[in-house]
């Protein structure tokens, strides 16, 4: 089989074999419905689900009963935001979020705006992708019921100053939700220290199975109430009806357990891989720009703009579709992931990166199973691909001849 290298760990991650092993019994002998109260099959399933709750809550400093299981981070974001807006509609209808959130947040907000159920402030971010906490403070009005800011960005890896925002939210008595999907299990989270009231996460971003996620909802200090978005059997304390995905939940918990135990060591290893990749590329290519924050970023995220080449052409050169004899490398481009049309990434746009440069960006997402050998191979392929494409690029030639291309970099701030 053709060799493949997976370096797109922000999109999803491979299942850790230890997670699969933990899940297997729950597909077979322990197949019970966690809501069956009358027999051992049900009790065993319920016990497994409740043990998983303990493990998940323990990672973030919450309580087991505050965990709601659901189908993933998209559902979790929807349940949190819509649930708050509906429950607290008599208190206010204003939401504060940022322009670089995941679509699960942005489209949920857009939908509420369209239905005239909420007014939303989308705060800008700086050139490195961070929101300014003082702008959050200034945006709060008497009508504000919710602040939603992600922990770490899925495209550029930038980590937001959640503790500072949480402090402001507490001071002003506004609920604080975070889509923690990219940072959960990768960087330490303490919901109490960070002033978080609701937190969303997903198993498949941390080497767990697809189709299972969680919403943590604070029960005291303050107690957060939600209107359920799914009607049915009243599972999960009425907040999310539907038979629980027991195998998925057990797998998610195992993934969390591993993440917690190995976090420090793994972060150091992945950071070293990222630096190796970055250093190799930068030592051989000019006109390469880092997108996102130089230090406040996920260890596994490297988002680079390679001026004067099209990210899409670069992807074709790397993903094997144009070179059947070479290894297929899986990475993402800043223009591909949001839609079928070649819109530049809205995240890069929000940083002030111009359309031209945004189109040249590649997101490398390093993860648990990447090796030094893979990093070296990918760096070499990237370097030769960029050199090849730049040889074909009249713009690159013009730049080298000293012709001023400031229009090309219009809007770019770095």
Residues near ligand PLP, by CB under 6 A = 72-74, 102, 104, 150, 154, 179, 181-182, 202, 205, 213
Distance CA 159, CA 305 (A): 19
Q: Is residue 347 within 8 Å of 100, Cβ to Cβ?
A: yes
CB of 298 to ligand PLP, least distance (A): 10
Please count the other Cβ atoms lying within 10 Å of the Cβ belonging to residue 17: 9
Distance CA 206, CA 208 (A): 6
Q: Is residue 56 within 8 Å of 214, Cβ to Cβ?
A: yes
Between 309 and 351, CB nearer to ligand PLP: 351
Between 53 and 186, CB nearer to ligand PLP: 186
Between 202 and 370, CB nearer to ligand PLP: 202
CB-closest chain residue to ligand PLP = 72
| Strand ranges for 139-287 from DSSP E | 144-148, 175-179, 198-202, 213-217
Distance CA 188, CA 159 (A): 12
CB of 92 to ligand PLP, least distance (A): 25
Length of the chain: 414
Residue from 326, 331, 296 nearest 314 by CA: 331
Between 239 and 307, CB nearer to ligand PLP: 239
Element (H, E) at 363: strand 361-365
Distance CA 186, CA 266 (A): 8
Is 109 one of the annotated active-site residues of the chain?
A: no
CB of 211 to ligand PLP, least distance (A): 8
CB of 152 to ligand PLP, least distance (A): 7
Of the residues 327, 337, 383, 405, only one is catalytic, namely 337
> How many CA atoms are closer than 13 Å to the CA of 123, on its beta-carbon side?
24
CB of 384 to ligand PLP, least distance (A): 31
Cβ-in-10-Å burial (0-12, 13-18, 19+) of 104 comes to buried
Between 102 and 293, CB nearer to ligand PLP: 102
Decide the pairing of beta strands 175-179 and 144-148: parallel
| DSSP type of residue 184 | T
Between 102 and 177, CB nearer to ligand PLP: 102
CB of 104 to ligand PLP, least distance (A): 4
Known catalytic residues are: 337
């Amino acid at each position: 089989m053709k060799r493949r290298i997976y370096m797109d760990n922000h999109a999803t991650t491979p299942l850790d074999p230890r997670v699969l092993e933990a899940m297997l019994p729950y597909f077979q002998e322990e197949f019970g419905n966690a809501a069956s109260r009358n027999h051992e099959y049900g009790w065993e399933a319920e016990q497994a689900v409740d043990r998983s709750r303990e493990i998940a809550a323990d990672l973030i400093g919450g309580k087991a009963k505050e965990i709601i299981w659901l189908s993933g981070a998209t559902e979790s974001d929807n349940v949190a935001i819509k649930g708050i807006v509906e429950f607290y509609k008599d208190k206010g209808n204003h939401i504060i979020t940022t322009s670089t959130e995941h679509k699960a947040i942005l489209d949920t907000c857009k939908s509420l705006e369209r239905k005239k159920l909420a007014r939303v402030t989308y705060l800008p971010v700086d050139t490195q992708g961070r929101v300014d906490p003082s702008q959050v403070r200034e945006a709060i009005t008497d009508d504000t019921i919710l602040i939603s800011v992600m922990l770490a960005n899925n495209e550029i890896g930038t980590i937001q100053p959640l503790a500072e925002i949480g402090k402001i939210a507490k001071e002003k008595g506004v609920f604080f939700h975070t889509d923690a999907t990219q940072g959960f299990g990768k960087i330490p989270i303490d919901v109490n220290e960070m002033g978080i009231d609701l937190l969303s996460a997903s198993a498949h971003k941390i080497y767990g199975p697809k189709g299972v996620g969680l919403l943590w909802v604070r029960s005291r200090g303050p107690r957060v109430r939600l209107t359920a978005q799914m009607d049915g059997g009243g599972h999960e304390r009425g907040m999310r009806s539907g038979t629980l995905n027991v195998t998925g939940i057990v797998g998610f918990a195992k993934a969390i357990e591993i993440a917690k135990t190995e976090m420090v060591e793994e972060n150091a290893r992945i950071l070293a891989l990222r630096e190796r990749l970055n250093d190799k590329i930068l030592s051989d290519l000019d006109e390469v720009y880092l997108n996102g924050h130089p230090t406040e970023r996920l260890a596994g995220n490297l988002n680079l703009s390679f001026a004067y080449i099209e990210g899409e052409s670069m992807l074709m050169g790397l993903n094997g579709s144009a070179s059947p004899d070479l290894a297929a490398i899986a990475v993402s481009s800043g223009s591909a992931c949001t839609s079928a049309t070649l819109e530049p990434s809205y995240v890069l746009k929000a940083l002030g990166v111009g359309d031209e440069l945004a189109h040249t960006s590649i997101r490398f997402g390093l993860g648990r199973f990447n090796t030094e050998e893979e990093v070296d191979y990918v760096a070499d392929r990237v370097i030769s691909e960029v050199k090849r494409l730049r040889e074909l690029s009249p713009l690159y030639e013009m730049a080298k001849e000293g012709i001023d291309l400031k229009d090309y970099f219009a809007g770019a701030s770095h």
